[in-house]
């Protein structure tokens, strides 16, 4: 059993080396399906018990995750975020509630289900960032939590996705409410909301200019930093709540408007019944969830008059899908389905690091080099050589005036592309293993093809295999996002040859 920052993992396939200020350790790929560790990041007092781990959470969905996880054999821990803290000791990360001395190990086999109240304080959100950095799968990420918690930012994201919404306008301050109403261009009544709020709290029904004027003045007088928006009112007898998990809709219900009110939140007393979605409503619900980067979300919308042909009015996407009402209404075990979904490792994703098209990395034993991160290159990573030969399963190759020796991994045969300037002739090249240090992490035994890249600006090409392994995403509009561009001129050429930037031996150590 090996550990990466305290990450216990079964040895199955290739090795990755993770370097931290304290340790250099190994990580192994895991089987596709296995038990995992569940961390429910919630808030509120846990009901007393003699054993801190057996305490019961106050909120319904957190309780349901605990119940279903224990039934299916997953280790589960309910985190009370108000007093939570993380420690790193003996190569292990552990997270603790205030009154728990044992704690809960967190690692790459952990899935953190983030509940709604975590959005309320920056320090709680910072805890999410720490979990992301450790490599925990976040459901959902800090970015998704912050987007969904900001009603106007969500509006912009949904707008970018081309989804239909009630028209929405910000009220910038207490004096500019009239300009905001004019910009909205809707007849009264209209809806006014605080940018943050849930369960129908912070939503006001405005019937006249006189009413909005007095309310805006009152609210800004109480808090000059309050954030308000106004929205066109769409009359309806209820809205639809849709639970989305990955690329699937799990359930949907119609929540009726409360008698004498305009809201349809079950927490405010609304009634509900199961709802059958049209194909168009399914499509738009999935797009809405994707627009905020959510993996397990609740989408709220108002149906159009012709739901088979006309799109729904998307109201919001909630990063913390509640299960109280919809499980009761539909009879479906939503929480068990969610837990089972993340049992498949393919559905567990870490928060990816954004990097540029060009980044600097170190080829261990060779030196620093600028690499081209090419998402179109699925086949192989390539390192430039001026010349090479293979003798007795040893590759002897020269690059930048240096000579290197590495064990031959295999000979690879490939063809030039259809539109290549050269003829379409099979080419055979040797491959070797190199260790790569990128952004503070060492990745062992990456297979590189030896080839002549003298006509290319970059002499090193990284492929999709490495990008998946390093959990990175490429922004083609940027370069050197996580590394410096020292030695690189404006035209993309180098002031110094790549391997001259470090003092290296004439020959690398045989691998």
Name the fold adopted by 167-232: Dna Ligase; domain 1 (3.30.1490)
pLDDT score for 232: 95
- pTM (predicted TM-score): 0.80
Give 227-252 pLDDT, tens digit per residue: 999 999 998 889 999 999 999 999 99
- pLDDT-derived band at 27, boundaries 50, 70, 90: very low
Question: Quick check: 24 pLDDT over 60?
Answer: no
- The conformation of residue 129, written as its DSSP 8-state character, comes to H
Q: How far is CA 65 from CA 36, 41, 115, 125, in A?
A: 13, 11, 11, 21
Instruction: Provide the residue ranges of all domains of the chain, joining segments of one domain with +.
Output: 2-139, 167-232, 238-320, 353-500
- Are domains 2-139 and 238-320 of this chain identical in fold? no
Q: Which residues contact 152 (CB under 8 A, 6 or more apart)?
A: 168, 170, 195, 227, 229
pLDDT score for 10: 30
For 2-139, CATH number out of 2.60.40, 3.30.565, 3.40.50, 3.40.720 equals 3.40.50
The three-state secondary structure class of 146 is helix
Q: What sign does the CA torsion over 420, 422, 426, 432 have?
A: negative
- pLDDT-derived band at 283, boundaries 50, 70, 90: very high
pLDDT score for 59: 75
Mean pLDDT value across residues 179-192: 94
* Distance (Å, whole) CA 334 – CA 60: 13
pLDDT score for 491: 54
Mean pLDDT value across residues 303-311: 96
- CATH number of the 238-320 domain: 3.30.470.20
Mean pLDDT value across residues 303-312: 96
How confident is the prediction for the chain on average, in pLDDT? 84
Q: Which residues contact 274 (CB under 8 A, 6 or more apart)?
A: 251, 252, 253, 254, 329, 330
- CATH number of the 353-500 domain: 2.40.70.10
pLDDT score for 507: 40
Question: Quick check: 26 pLDDT over 50?
Answer: no
């Amino acid at each position: 059993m090996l550990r990466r920052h305290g990450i216990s993992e079964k040895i199955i396939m290739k090795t990755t080396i993770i370097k931290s200020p304290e340790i250099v350790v190994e990580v192994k790929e895991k089987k596709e399906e296995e038990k995992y560790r569940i961390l429910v990041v919630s808030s509120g007092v846990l009901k007393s018990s003699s054993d801190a781990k057996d305490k019961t959470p106050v909120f319904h969905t957190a309780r349901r995750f605990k119940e279903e996880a224990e039934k299916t054999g997953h280790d589960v821990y309910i985190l009370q975020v108000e007093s939570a803290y993380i420690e790193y000791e003996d190569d292990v990360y552990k997270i603790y509630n205030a009154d728990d001395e044992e704690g809960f190990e967190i690692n790459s086999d952990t899935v953190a289900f983030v509940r709604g109240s975590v959005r309320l304080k920056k320090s709680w959100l910072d805890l999410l960032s720490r979990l992301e950095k450790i490599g925990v799968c976040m459901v959902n990420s800090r970015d998704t939590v912050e987007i969904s918690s900001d009603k106007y930012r969500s509006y912009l994201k949904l707008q970018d996705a081309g989804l239909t919404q009630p028209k929405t306008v910000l009220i910038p301050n207490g004096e500019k409410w009239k300009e905001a109403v004019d910009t909205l261009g809707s007849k009264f009544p209209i809806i006014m909301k605080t940018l943050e709020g849930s369960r129908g709290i912070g939503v006001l029904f405005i019937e006249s200019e006189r009413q909005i004027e007095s309310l805006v003045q009152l609210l800004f007088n109480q808090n000059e930093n309050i954030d308000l928006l106004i929205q066109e009112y769409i009359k309806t007898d209820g809205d639809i709540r849709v639970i989305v998990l990955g690329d699937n809709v799990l359930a949907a219900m119609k929540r009726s408007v409360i008698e004498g009110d305009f809201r349809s939140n079950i927490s405010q007393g609304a009634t509900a019944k199961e709802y059958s979605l049209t194909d168009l409503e399914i499509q738009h619900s999935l797009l809405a969830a994707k627009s905020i980067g959510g993996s397990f979300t609740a989408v709220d919308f108002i149906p159009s008059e012709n739901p088979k042909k006309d799109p729904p009015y998307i109201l919001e996407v909630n990063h913390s899908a509640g299960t109280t009402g919809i499980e009761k209404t539909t009879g479906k075990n939503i929480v068990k389905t969610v837990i089972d979904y993340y049992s498949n490792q393919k559905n567990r994703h870490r928060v990816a690091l954004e990097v540029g098209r060009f980044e600097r990395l170190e080829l261990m034993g060779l030196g620093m080099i600028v690499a081209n991160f090419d998402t179109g290159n699925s086949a192989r990573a390539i390192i430039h050589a001026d010349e090479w030969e293979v003798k007795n399963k040893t590759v002897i190759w020269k690059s930048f005036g240096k000579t290197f020796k590495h064990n031959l991994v295999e000979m690879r045969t490939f063809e030039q592309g259809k539109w290549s300037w050269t003829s379409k002739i099979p080419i055979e090249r040797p491959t070797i293993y190199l260790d790569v240090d990128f952004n503070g992490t060492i990745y062992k035994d990456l297979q590189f093809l030896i080839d002549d890249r003298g006509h290319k600006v970059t002499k090193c090409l990284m492929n999709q295999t490495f990008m998946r392994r390093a959990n990175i995403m490429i922004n083609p509009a940027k370069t050197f996002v996580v590394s410096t561009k020292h030695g690189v001129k404006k035209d993309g050429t180098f002031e110094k040859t790549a391997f001259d930037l470090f003092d290296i031996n004439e020959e690398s150590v045989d691998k």
